Structure 1
């Protein structure tokens, strides 16, 4: 790896965290910003001219909102979505003025003036939020941008059909509000044959026609792959940018973005009958050679994951329970002396994908990414 491809970033949402050096870290998280840029380009190509935002909630899905935003801005991305106002404030401070930043969860009551002062835009998810933003705009003496989110059938966020119908007949309901988008969110976009997708799209069509004319946005990562009918004026990919498969029943059209390697802390040989790990959930059925790695659920690897690490293409199964700071591997398949203290084994990379690792844990790639802790040495490539 060339020095000019490796960059350190202070994560703009990880308050008080400091970069961890490679020497002292127990594990290395490699984040390929060039792959994120290529994934953005691939999604834009599918959108065929429709605008494409970047979703940076949960600190850029755990990978660092600032470095991800910087990479996407180099590709021309000028609209970002976060979940919370606090995330938006931190991102605005880090990247400065310019790109639009929308808060998906709306604004907590009383925070409207702070959001407006920072140039952040809410998704208005309820009638009370609409009233609060309108009053904030009046007090500021200027129109304030926002997106209106409607609930088209997910029952999570967005104005209900009853609320939309009510405000549609209310004079001045949207006075002083610059509606940038009318939006909704698909509940089953990763299941392309589900009738719920079309039901939601039709309900979205109905509700947005009750509102003032504005550009529309419905497609998330998987929604992009449902086809042009779902693209509207803006798509909002998140997980696909980070290498999670947006078409889980087909080959992944995205490039992998992360690799995780953990350091060997110790190796040992045990005899038949030896109890291994907490609770002695496993006893050696014969002589074994073991390696303990400095990596565990304290770093975001799920305790329930029955999985393996890899070294030079050789699978090294987990044995015993995953601990907070360590995992025991069976390295008997390697020639004796192959692994030493400080050597690196792969947890996610060329031998095991992010989605494969998630499947072993009974979860999804989103949760693996957003669970990654602060003890890694983070290595950014392709900045």
Structure 2
């Protein structure tokens, strides 16, 4: 949605200074470091306890930002930009977001509670994603700043919102409610997080319930304490595992590594399985189940989708540790309620009988210190923790409450003593408040794997899929290309996700790719774009659907089809409209019609063509001539055979540049993987693949020494270099070496020195503080695949598909 400054200024009740160069606003920002800030950005200069964004306005002006919401104009900047002057920039951001939210009228789920908000949000996005174009809070953007930034990301293509709201004290929710304005409320677990901000539990509940003041319905656990603070105007949809008067009554039964939920609702009973056994995950899953029931999903759909839920590694992360240990990383917070949840999670995830708890001082408990650590001791005993390592002055004072306990006053003390401690064949829960910097402990205990991996973000794939779906007419089908090992990203895992999202077709280049997917259990129809005649038997055997592009190929397939007595086997007819690669031409049409007219062995499932210049608008006339030719030849074929098959010719760039030629289906390719040749569209896509490695070795070479084969780099001063275990055998072009290319270490560019070797490359880290074992980004957010392709004079396809299959693919959801 295009916003203009004249629309915005009255909302903020602001004064102005200067003349705007551009009235249109395409983004809102509060981060002065963002490289996305530009002429269309409206920058809110927010002042926090440790920073004031007004200090960075001068740099932003140099980088092209022209429109600012400020409390004052910084010295010497008057007349250099357009300033919207308000009393409080945070209030202004919230006012703007609330106004912006009012421009949209689709269902919005508002989530609040003490625990589970982010997980429930991410799971709901997964469960509802196949049917809705969802806007949701990124990561844990649930604060006074995070919520408005989430909401102003809504666009006209969204038809469902899911937003978190987090508060730490009174009078905060009243500011977030008009920004989220949820039509559907969801109250998750109420625990002790942020208890210090409230005088009692009742005040905390009352404040959280303000989010649902205007909601049509509130979904929550049936709880007398909560009900005591609910307005009679609020309609509830409740669940319980104990109170049978709840709208939904649920029984739980553990089964191996799953939990079976027996659900009673509206006089009907059905069962689902979820892949968890810990209480926190079960409760979060039930919250999601309630939303699906409210939305009217069938029991079958609920069962299918709920079983696919996955761990969300935002707070509790399972990692491999040194000496055959498993780490449960929960270095996000330290309060009593989350400790209980973490210990429960530890029990469900343990791989070893021996269990160790590394615990910092506990905050936000709402209990006095004696009672708190007595309760913690009881938890440790009940969870059969064999060893406790306490870190902090308070827990050190209560050391005698724990058996087999060693304590340190701070994290530094633990690190100094690390070599004297023994860890092995155990599961370790690392639970600490952020002020203790327990990530340093995790780093010590985490297994160091010097491996190169290509990490694939499945959430980003879903986002990009939905982005292109939003460009289609309601009846237009979608084929997604997973050829070339999913453009280098991996085949089966992506195909499985696409199947979950109900795409209509998958496309592969050769039969073996399709056979691999079918053998792995993919049930979607798969079209083989470049079938060789020798693969026809296998194509038929595995129920793949061949593209037929020549008379010779058609006759060969029909001969086999006749021998196997096939009837109405689906085939796809390729027409050459100007690409001149594969396909029937106009002079083949009569013969093609004659062969197919009386043939019962096959059925023309679709007619397709391929555009040669859909990505280059300078060839628009040629592209339109291809569309015209396709219309003419496909119509002739349809008339001659008296059929109405699917027609399709648009690829990724065609979807954007030629929307009137969608026909019955489009073919989404590299756009799914976050790549566009359109700069504006690229901003809308999410990065899917991040190629990572590690630093194997660091050395400093003197002036005059060289690096790599052929001495193509000679140091003109002492130079610190790092060796990275990835080379041209992994798919890194030799042309990317010799200081033309770079990698990213600690968010800084490290130029590649000398020639790229077969299995290694060397980079300059003279200005980067790093060490052996640190992570290196080869491509992802920086450098991007587009950047590398442009520098090498090639296309992103070549960069992605060139990554060797010896590089391990790791799939994850944020």
With normalisation by structure 2, the TM-score equals 0.43
When residues 271 and 204 of structure 1 are mapped into structure 2, their CA distance, relative to the original with a 3 A threshold, is same
Q: What corresponds to 1:203 in structure 2?
A: 629
Relative to structure 1, the CA distance from residue 289 to residue 111 in structure 2 (aligned partners, 3 Å threshold; closer, same or farther) is closer
Q: What's the secondary structure of 1:162's corresponding residue? A: helix
- From the CA coordinates, give the structure whose radius of gyration is larger: 2
Q: Residue 176 of structure 1: CA displacement?
A: 2.7
From the superposition, tell whether residues 267 and 349 of structure 1 become closer, same or farther in structure 2 (CA, over 3 Å).
same
Q: Note the aligned Cα RMSD (angstroms).
A: 2.1
Mapped partners of 2:524, 2:505: distance in 1: 5
CA contact (8 A) 1:150 1:164 kept: no
Partner of 2:390: none
Matched ranges for 1:350-369 at <5 A: 350-369=781-800
Query: What's the CA shift for 1:66?
Result: 0.2
Selected match of 1:131 from 549, 555, 568: 555
Give the deviation of 1:312 after TM superposition: 2.4
Matched, 1:163 2:588: yes
Counterpart CA distance in 1 for 2:555 and 2:450 is: 49
2:654 corresponds to 1:223: yes
Alignment of 1:20-169 (within 5 A): 23-49=448-474, 50-96=476-522, 98-106=523-531, 108-139=532-563, 140-169=565-594
How far the C-alpha of 1:138 sits from its partner, in A, is 2.8
Q: Contact conserved, 1:30 with 1:381, CA < 8 A, in 2? A: yes
Bigger Cα displacement from structure 2, 210-219 vs 49-58: 210-219
Whether contact under 8 Å (1:263, 1:294) holds in the other structure is yes
The separation in 1 between residues aligned to 2:634 and 2:546, in whole angstroms, is 17
Distance change in 2, residues 1:211/1:28 (3 Å): same
Match of 1:316 in 2: 750
Looking at structure 2, the residues matched to 251 and 88 of structure 1 have their Cα atoms a distance apart, in angstroms, of: 29
SS in 1 for 2:502: coil
Q: Which has the higher contact order (CA 8 A, sep 6+)?
A: 1
Structure 1, residues 284-324: CA drift from partner, whole Å, max 9, x if none? 11111111111111111111112111122221111111111
Q: Hey, what does 2:205 align to over in structure 1?
A: none
Distance, in Å, in 2 between the alignment partners of 1:45 and 1:373 is 33
Is the partner of 2:471 in helix, strand or coil? helix
Given that 2:481 and 2:667 are in contact with CA atoms closer than 8 Å, whether structure 1 keeps it comes out as yes
Alpha-carbon displacement from aligned partner over 1:26-62 (angstroms, at most 9, x marks no partner): 3221100111111111111101221111101111111
2:720 alignment counterpart = 289
Secondary structure in structure 1 of the residue aligned to 2:716: coil
Q: How many residues matched?
A: 362
SS of structure 2 residue aligned to 1:346: strand
Q: Which ranges in structure 2 are unaligned for 5 or more consecutive residues? A: 1-118, 120-309, 314-446
Aligned residue for 1:132, secondary structure, equals: helix
Q: What is aligned with 2:612?
A: 187
CA contact (8 A) 1:102 1:120 kept: yes
Cα offset, 1:169, TM superposition: 4.5
Confirm or deny: 8 A CA contact 1:25 1:376 kept in the other structure. no
- C-alpha contact 1:25 1:377 (8 A) present in aligned 2: no
Distance 1:142-1:251 versus aligned 2 partners, 3 A rule: closer
Please name the residue that 1:277 is paired with.
708
Q: Does the C-alpha gap of structure 1 residues 5 and 352 become closer, same or farther in structure 2, counting only changes over 3 Å?
A: farther
1: CA distance, partners of 2:512 / 2:664: 27
What CA distance in whole angstroms lies between the structure 1 residues aligned with 2:715 and 2:784? 29
Q: Distance in 1 between matches of 2:671 and 2:699?
A: 41
Contact 2:448 2:773 in 1 (8 A): no
User: What is the CA–CA distance in structure 1 between the aligned matches of 2:617 and 2:488, rounded to whole Å?
Assistant: 27
Worse-matched range after superposition: 171-180 or 140-149: 171-180
Residues 674 and 682 of structure 2 are in contact (CA less than 8 Å); yes or no, is this contact kept in structure 1? no
Once residues 130 and 381 of structure 1 are traced to their aligned partners in structure 2, the CA distance between those partners, rounded to angstroms, is 42
Name the CA distance, whole Å, in 1 between partners of 2:588 and 2:811: 45
Q: 1:327 aligns with which of 746, 761, 766?
A: 761
Residues 1:302 and 2:733 aligned together: yes
Alignment partners' CA distance in 2, 1:25 and 1:138: 55
Length-normalised TM-score, structure 1: 0.89
Q: Is the 1:268–1:291 contact (alpha carbons within 8 Å) kept by the matching residues of 2?
A: yes
Q: Which residue of 2 aligns with 1:9?
A: none
Structure 1 stretch displaced more, 307-316 or 149-158: 307-316
Q: Which stretches in structure 1 are left out of the alignment for 5+ residues?
A: 7-21
| Cα distance in 2 for residues equivalent to 1:237 and 1:261 | 26
Alpha-carbon separation, structure 2, partners of 1:380 and 1:171: 44
Q: Do the aligned partners of 1:134 and 1:175 also contact (CA within 8 Å) in 2?
A: no
- Residue 24 of structure 1: CA displacement? 4.5
Alignment correspondent of 1:268: 699
Residue 25 (structure 1) shift: 4.5
> 1:280: Cα distance to partner?
0.4
Residues 220 and 211 of structure 1: is their aligned pair in 2 closer, same or farther, counting only changes over 3 Å?
same
2:427 aligns to what? none
Partner Cα distance (1:349, 1:77) in 2: 26
Partner of 2:470: helix, strand, or coil? Answer: helix
Change (3 A) 1:171 1:365: closer
1:151/1:71 CA distance change after superposition, 3 Å: same
Q: Where is the helix percentage greater, Structure 1 or Structure 2?
A: 2
Provide the rounded CA distance (Å) in 1 between the counterparts of 2:590 and 2:547: 18
Looking at structure 1, the residues matched to 653 and 539 of structure 2 have their Cα atoms a distance apart, in angstroms, of: 30
1:339 aligns with 2:763: no
Supply the distance in 1 between the matched residues of 2:685 and 2:674 (Cα, whole angstroms): 5
